[in-house]
Chain A
Amino acid sequence: MNTAQELRRHKRTSVLPLGLCVALAVFSAPGVARDVTLARSLAATCANCHGTDGRSRNPALPSLAGMKAETLMEALAHYRSGRRPGTVMPQIVKGYTEEQLRLIAAYFAAQPKP
């Protein structure tokens, strides 16, 4: 099971009572649980501008929830290379590793579209 699928499972289980306990039980493999919480924390660094869990309240800044991971990774790569112009994004994308961006993209892909 890939990270995106794990993240979707996590999302479903987390609405249950004592969601954390259930989530911990689901992720019996400690490495996968670590990836999920790491992805969650990394994606939360985007929320100030793109909304909690990637759901933006203002059309000036796009929602990321439900965006395909490949689409987001391609946009980020183009910000990094300078092919895609921008204001803040070309500067901050360079502060994250590729692995961190992959976890972020997988996290947002697993969120329901706004």
Chain B
Amino acid sequence: MIARRQLMAAGGLALAGCATTTAAPLGRVVIVGGGFGGATAARYLKLWGGTAIEVTLVERHGAFISCPMSNLVIAGARELASISHGYAGLQAQGVKCVRGEVVAIDPAGKSVRLGDGSTLRWDRLILAPGVGFMLDELPGLAAAYASGRAVHAWQAGAQTELLRRQLQALPDGGVVLMSIPKAPYRCPPGPYERACLIASWLRRAKPRAKLLVLDANPEVQSKKALFERAFAQHHAGVLEYRPNAELKEVAGGVARFEFEDVKADVLNLIPPQRAGDLVRDFANVNRRWVGVDWLTMQAQAAPGVHVVGDALMSAPGMPKSGHLANQQAKVAAAAVLALLQGDAVNPAPVVMNTCYSFVTPDEAMHVASVHQYDAAEKTMKTVPGSGGVSPAASAAEAAYAQGWADNIWADTLAL
């Protein structure tokens, strides 16, 4: 790295001729995963690195579909197209977008292999795989998803629309079951927002139907008092919430919990989660999540390989959110540029989170936090006295939530 920097100081243009396969003097970065984390890393490497860096983004889907705001689609308050965006913005910034799936990672050889047999070489690799589902411990769940008898809708897209259609087909007087896995899982307030929005829709469209929410956790995991107020004020009589109820098995139309069997017309079973399969080799925390060096976002198990987003072993008080994946990706982008230049990385990174949740299609509330690097403990820590939640859900915050979505989508995808 130091040699490269000295060469650059001597004349960056001359170096271009020396590079074997890339004209970009700082080198090549391959990013795998085009969600909030991976797309933001690509965007900011180009924003800050320009033509000095070659950036390739590998994503298996043709478009980005946002999990935030997708509960509004499930409840019929907006269309899937309005939360979907292509990768043309990133391409216009000079990001090479490759549609495909990475099937093997070689950290020592600094390359990845794609499903079609091709390989991509890199000087730095950024992985943003999101979450994977732990289906092995839940007999019948994988088969229930495959047949469409159960829906997770915890990765936005076809599953989002399937759940929407199943709700539309629900007989009035029918029962919808939602199960929530033990934390940690992607988007702590997400299940409770979804429960509110489904209940809100049922009250209008299927007034005799019921929503039963069985939570493996002992209590609501985010914005607890606010969600409990929404359950009581807006959704009483439709939504029934029970904590300490963990899903154990699915058999036909029956979901088996620790203490009861539940039959329902629609099964929205949100599965227990771990780091996406792509990073299983680097999941050094309980073989479930990826531990990272928070100064660079490098995986503890694989120097040179950076990991961002929901796959991480979160720092204390840090939720798995699209907002934080975006923020972590900016830390990774800055660190990758510094490392490729042979510079010191930022010794004091900061990330922050804002998550909006809708309690009806017209009212939302937030949770916010700020996380600063703590050099002594080598982790990100929430700043005492900072952050918090809304005093109450409001129409004003619903407008801010839409503003947040417009801006984070544009920031992430260079729209």
Contacts and interface: CB of A to CB of B under 8 A. Distances in A.
Interface of A: 14, 17-21, 24-25, 34, 37-38, 40-42, 44-45, 47-52, 56-61, 87-88, 91-96, 100
Given A58-B407, A60-B399, 14 more contacts: A18-B25, A20-B26, A24-B341, A41-B331, A49-B407, A50-B407, A51-B410, A60-B400, A60-B402, A87-B366, A91-B368, A94-B370, A95-B382, A100-B350
Contacts of B370: 92, 94-96
Interface in B312-328: 323, 326-327
Contact of A18 (B13, B47, B338, B388): B13
A48 B408 contact: yes
B109 interface: no
A57 B410 contact: yes
Interface in B273-295: none
Contacts of A57: 403, 406-407, 410, 415
Interface residues of B, number: 58
B241 interface: no
B120 interface: no
Interface in B23-53: 25-26, 43-44, 47-52
B407 A51 contact: yes
B368 A88 contact: yes
Contact of B334 (A37, A60, A94, A95): A37
A58 to B, nearest CB: 4
Given A48-B323, A95-B372, A96-B350, A18 B50 contact: yes
B352 interface: yes
B385 A94 contact: yes
Given A48-B408, A91-B388, A61 B12 contact: no
11 contacts: A17-B51, A41-B350, A45-B352, A48-B354, A52-B410, A57-B407, A60-B402, A61-B403, A61-B407, A91-B386, A95-B387
Nearest to A16: B50
A19 B25 CA distance: 11
User: Which A-B residue pairs are the 4 nearest by beta carbons?
Assistant: A95-B370, A95-B386, A21-B12, A60-B403
A14 B348 CA distance: 24
B179 interface: no
Given A20-B26, A41-B346, A94-B385, A47 B407 contact: yes
B404 A61 contact: yes
Contacts of A56: 403, 407
Contacts of B43: 52
B366 A88 contact: yes
A95 B369 contact: yes
B101 interface: no
Interface of B: 8-9, 12-13, 25-26, 43-44, 47-52, 323, 326-327, 330-331, 334, 337-338, 341, 344, 346, 348-352, 354, 366, 368-372, 382-383, 385-388, 390, 396-397, 399-400, 402-404, 406-408, 410-411, 414-415
B22 to A, nearest CB: 14
Given A18-B51, A60-B400, A87-B400, A48 B407 contact: yes
Nearest to A44: B330
A70 B277 CA distance: 48
Nearest to B36: A48
Nearest to B399: A60
Contacts of B47: 52
A25 to B, nearest CB: 8
Nearest to A45: B352
Nearest to B322: A48
A93 B385 CA distance: 10
B147 to A, nearest CB: 38
B26 A92 contact: no
B305 to A, nearest CB: 21
